[in-house]
Amino acid sequence: MSVAGVAILGYGVVGAGTARLLTAGRAGMADRTGVSPELLHIVDIRTFPQDPLEPLVTADYDAVLADPRVRVVVETIGGTGAAFAFSKRALASGRHVVTSNKELVAEHGPELLELAASHGVRYLFEASVGGGIPIIHPMRHCLAANVIHTVSGILNGTTNYILTHMDQDDMSFAAALSEAQAHGFAEQRPEADIEGLDAGRKLAILSSLAFGVAVPWREIHTEGIAAIDAAGIDTAAQAGAQVKLFARASRMADGRIAASVQPVALSCTHPVCCASGVNNAIAVEGDAIGTAMFYGPGAGALPTASAVVSDVLECLGGEDSLPRLVWPPMPAGRMVPFEAQPVLVLGMRTAKPEKDLGAVLAAAGYGGRPLGDGKEVLVFGEDGTLTEGILAGAAAACGGLPSGWIRFVRGS
């Protein structure tokens, strides 16, 4: 049986969960996998006098790298400062690195993957997207026979919790956010979540895996949910849909990539609409498999730690026959500009003739068909010619996108 040392950087929620799984579950993992990871060090500048693992805690990272028993370094610090520097040093020393840090992977993933490949080790990040949902390994290995056309889904549990309660409990955005914070589902400074940045970084990671190039997260158009109100929720409900913060990246026929994160009215027949509360759902569409679905808890100490430990075991499992992962730079012009991407939009029927967005779009030839008998909702852009740029121009002429208007994604 292979026994290998592990060091954890950062003893917060995910780091502590990982330590718990590595220590409590070591015997079972050894029986199931033939690998026995031994937790040797926990690096943190804080002390934990009441913690049974306190003897393993050190602030001296140099001592960790000097220990020849350490084969895997688990980075759960977060951010792109110390986490980046420590990860580079570990890889350069010939250690595998496992992380849950989506911000670091989205920002510096290509460089760290290249560094890992050049030193014959692995840089793995299963826990960076979807919490405990297995998605990185299935996309990289299980779906390797597929050309992936689209990856989409609900990638942020905080916003999904907020939108679920706005819909089901008639709560305002502010009230739902406050409840999410009270239950620990939202940070006290929740901007990265509610502005869509967290989902954008995760979509960049999935897009890079799907399309084989480093997709810069800053080039993905990202919107948040703060502008969603009761009128938007009602419009979606009348259309048989729910408002979700929806992330989607697609490979176009010409090879370009279209990607965005936006609040949309997602048809209840869409495969990822089933995700409620803090759960995530991800759909991967490939040429051979069709649509594969991944669903489960998108956050939490133990679900995320489960994904971290799965990467630790992969590093130690002798899978040297698997190809090393690298993301070459994305060629210039590969990303479809957001304003050129087609859009479907729903609007409430209104009696204002002059500055009415529906009248402007209908007059320009972009539809305005009632979505169903007796419904007060109109759908625009069904022929695929209405783009985000055209919609933005028309909305600007009418003083902005009116309350009750929302983008629409049909079921598939």
User: So which residues are the catalytic ones?
Assistant: 202
Nearest to 346 by CA among 239, 267, 231, 243: 239
- DSSP label at residue 270: S
- Per DSSP, the three-state class of 156 is coil
User: What SS3 string covers 194-236?
Assistant: HCCHHHHHHHHHHHHHHHCCECCHHHCEECCCCCCCHHHHHHH
- Per DSSP, the three-state class of 367 is strand
Q: Are 18 and 86 in contact (CB under 8 A)?
A: no
Q: How far is 152 from 131, CA to CA, in rounded Å?
A: 16
CA dihedral sign, ordered 211, 213, 218, 219: negative
Q: How far is 135 from 228, CA to CA, in rounded Å?
A: 29
Q: Are 81 and 104 in contact (CB under 8 A)?
A: no
- With 0-12 CB in 10 A as exposed, 13-18 as middle and 19+ as buried, what is 192? middle
